[in-house]
Amino acid sequence: MALKVAIVGLPNVGKSTLFNALTRTAAAQAANYPFCTIEPNTGDVAVPEPRLQTLAAIAGSKEIIPARITFVDVAGLVRGASKGEGLGNQFLANIRDCDAVAFVARCFVDDDITHVENRIDPVSDLEIIETELMLADLESLEKRVVNVEKKAKGGDKEAQQTLRLINLALEQLRAGKPARLAEVSKEDEKAWHMLQLLTSLPALYVANVEEASADQGNELSAKVAERAARDNANSVVISAQIESEIAVLDDEEQKEFLEGLGLVEPGLNRLIREAYKLLGLQTYFTVGPKEARAWTVPVGATAPQAAGVIHTDFEKGFIRAETVAYEDYVALQGEAKAREAGKLRAEGKAYVVKDGDVMHFLFN
């Protein structure tokens, strides 16, 4: 699955610093002035998965291939972005192509780094961004509604469904609420997604704190977490500055650096895991002497759907899946002993994949 998460926020909140750390590059120019990022930078990031290393060691895999997620560094938005302020319309269009949005809020005080609003208030920052996205959605829907109404009156069933969902979204937005808070039925999910609303995308709030608060956060990040809970969003505390410093270190140096700060793992690992959880995703594995590989599927995916992530022909010609739980694979040290112990199962088309399943597909 090609997954994309937009990194969004006001100028100078640490978005590009965070992006640089995520991608371990200096692809995004991190500078102390607004709009230093003009084109959206994209970077593929490996999803942290320690189980993959364990499986590879047991199977003697020559290559380890992690699942990946793409982050898009969108240039800083400002008040009035929905009307084109600060090249806003161009930047908003970059978000529509993503699966989720990570809102970065500045939760640190540093007089050397200017703030476009001349104050440090992360909740207000988030409200500015959310408001601009809502205004952009309102404009988009109000332009479309007249044409859809005409088709709906003519008896077009698809247009009638679309009109109903447009009105639902407009009701939310006019009440000052993001579209993601609307209650949408399972049957309407596909059509709802087709509206391409910025505020219907799952949201993750990233509280960017100073180094001393990287572990527990601070008063400002606590306000962000409170706001996230109210907005049906996830939140994570991270220090973009720390992440940028450790991004260039090898694994052993990283470990020593983090231990010195009282941290167990990079904050980026938490960020990526939260993005996965936000999108309702899980991981299954294929393991052999050639490679150990992690694959991404939605929670609730069936065995044929999981096979289809590898290749569409696998799903079309699916016969069965041989499956063993990660814990059993590790405890029994591989597929052969798992089979002998009766822990390797043959599963059919109705099998719902579980996180950590080690799978092998048979197909026609």
Which pairs count as long-range contacts for 242-249, CB under 8 Å and 24+ apart, including other chains? 242/211, 242/214, 242/267, 243/17, 243/18, 243/21, 243/22, 243/267, 243/268, 244/17, 244/18, 244/20, 244/21, 244/30, 246/21, 247/20, 247/21, 247/24, 248/24
Domain 300-363 has CATH 3.10.20.30: yes
Considering the chain, tell me which residue range(s) the CATH 3.10.20.30 domain(s) occupy: 300-363
CA 175 to CA 186: how far, in whole Å? 24
CA 97 to CA 198: how far, in whole Å? 9
Considering the chain, tell me which residue range(s) the CATH 3.40.50.300 domain(s) occupy: 4-278
CA 1 to CA 14: how far, in whole Å? 28
Domain 4-278 has CATH 3.40.50.300: yes
Q: Which residues are annotated as a binding site for ATP?
A: 12-17
pLDDT score at 188: 94
pLDDT score at 103: 92
Q: Which residues are annotated as a binding site?
A: 12-17
pLDDT score at 266: 85
Count of positions (residues) in the chain = 364
Q: Which residues pair with 102 in a beta bridge?
A: 7, 204
Task: Tell me the average confidence (pLDDT) per consecutive run of 10 residues in the chain, 364 residues long.
Answer: 82 82 55 43 84 96 90 68 48 82 89 63 89 90 93 92 96 93 92 94 93 89 92 87 84 85 84 87 96 95 96 94 97 95 96 97 92
CB 13 within 8 A of CB 247: no
Nearby residues of 1 by Cβ (< 8 Å), 6 or more positions away: 281, 296, 297, 309
Nearby residues of 155 by Cβ (< 8 Å), 6 or more positions away: none
pLDDT score at 80: 54
